[in-house]
Structure 1
Amino acid sequence: MSVKLSAYVWDGCASSGMKTMKVAIMVRLADFSNDEGVCWPSVDTIARQIGAGRSTVITAINELMKEGWLTKQERRKGQRSATNIYRLNVEKLRTAANAIYSQGSDSGRSESEHSETGHSESERSGNIKKSVSQGPESGHDPSVSSKQDPSVKTSCPAAEQPDPATMITDQAKQVLNHLNLVTGSKYQPSKTSLEGIRARLIEGFTLSELLLVVDYTNEKWGDDLKMSEYLRPIPLFSPSKFPGYLQAAEKWNESGRPEYVNGKWVKDGKPIKGSGVDNSERDAAYRRYTSGVGEITNPSQLEIEVRKAAGKAGIRNQQASFAQQRWNSLWTEYSERLSGEAAA
């Protein structure tokens, strides 16, 4: 349970005019979440705990997604569906809550608001007493006195903005947590586990791109006993491998995230055209070209042509991440050329 996020929800969401049902759902998600806003309760659990219908909860969650309060990641365990992974928008919640903290409790209730509600002074007094007796908006946090002036919260450490290095590390931890969630692993946020992830983020790859690669490789290798060994932080986010994984993951995402069954991508029970293409030859040829190790006697015509083009492009002198992207592009280009010539 994240007390910090629960406070943000109570203070930020409630004050933004959010409907009670949505606030209740956000509160439950915050209760299940870690400080990064990640949780995976089932819809049935949420519905039961807030006393709402299942369809009502689903509709409210979809609206919250559209409004930018959270994102949802569907996942599977083998051939079975698993609970969705929810990620609360911590930054948006923090911003909404801090706006209330900076205003203080009185500025949030203007004279015009009082006149619109039509409540008498005695009714307001009664409501205030009732709210105090029920505990503060932060969700009964014992560290917050119900008699304390809410304006004191302006000095709350949550309002401080982290430096870039801290943000990079926090994002790297989010990626590692996501890898643990979808694969069932228990990698700790050690220097070794986070090093490659942080390096890719520093290079300019985005958090969403790293999460996408995790989802893609898990879908492709998760049920493969041999390949699942590569679902680890070091091989996934290595400088030579990651760009290629990302390129494939983006195509997978554009295709609607199909399932990987018996070596082929399948959508709606039907194999996707061209989904059986194996890139192992391309990747092996790239390693031979850049390292000079494992040269073969009779390379394919495709490998010969790509090597020539790679030499002209100066791939060996480029940064590893860009070099492999360029190699992959050349491989696709010359593969299509040779296929066209063969057809002619």
Structure 2
Amino acid sequence: MSLLLKVKPLVISPELACRIGLNEAIVLQQICYWLEDTTAGVDHDGRRWVYNTIEDWNEQFPWWSSDTVKRALTSLKKSGLIYVEQLKKTQHDRTNYYAINHANPLLTDEGKLPSSKSANCTVRRGQAAPIEEGKLTSSMGANCPRLTENTTEITTEITTGASCQVAAQPDRDVELTDHAKKVLAHLNQTTGAKFQVCKSSLENIRARLAEGYELGELVLVVDYKNAHWQNTEQAQYLRPATLFIPKNFPGYLQSATKWDKSGRPPCVNGKWQRDVMQMPSANYEIPDGFRGA
């Protein structure tokens, strides 16, 4: 028996919210809506998939910040409740598609948690990040922005009598910051720069990690652009604000991957040494200190 409801408005199962967290339950139910009640999905590899950008998801949850939505999706993926795949892997299209893993025990009676008469179902503290200033009016009585016509109205219904234990969830925000600091440290070590650990240095790195890029991919881009720009006028752009912004990073990563597979040839006066570009493929190894991150 699945705990996902397929009716409108969207009603959250108290037991599901207790198992996986309230935010995750709301997002998962909305994914179910798109897959079951609309024609927006696509069939691939025996599963039904739906695509929405983070901005699109955020419009459906106007009371949350985009970081909260990202954390909920990441948590669902780590728990094995959803599949996240880039079905169209090209340089200019790294779109994430989402599918539900209905076989996950957390969605069935097999995943029942032991109940406690003295334990009340509570929302995890610190889960929701604040809404950016100006996104919603401050008045509690103000009208919420209207949802698009192909989006179901969301109503959460949590019964006060439900007793359950909240499933433990990893602190994704801390993890992203820790990985971002490692990338920044590698950038400083590789280029000789001295970027400080601060919001301006980490925000683009964190954003790319939150999108699903691997720590090793960011490290690879640092190595590639350092080899490309070192000892040239472009060396001044070996900085987080250039390397990791959305419009630059996908292209840099594609070029870095080809460079790595070509054996990491040197670059002299801004030009790759073509005779070396034909070297056998070399697998990229993450530097010491990054393995297992």
Q: TM-score range by the shorter chain?
A: 0.3 to 0.5
TM-score (norm 2): 0.36
Structure number with higher relative contact order (C-alpha < 8 Å, ≥ 6 residues apart): 2
TM-score for the superposition, normalised by structure 1: 0.31
Q: Kindly indicate which of the two structures has a greater share of residues assigned to helix.
A: 1
User: Higher Cα Rg: structure 1 or 2?
Assistant: 1
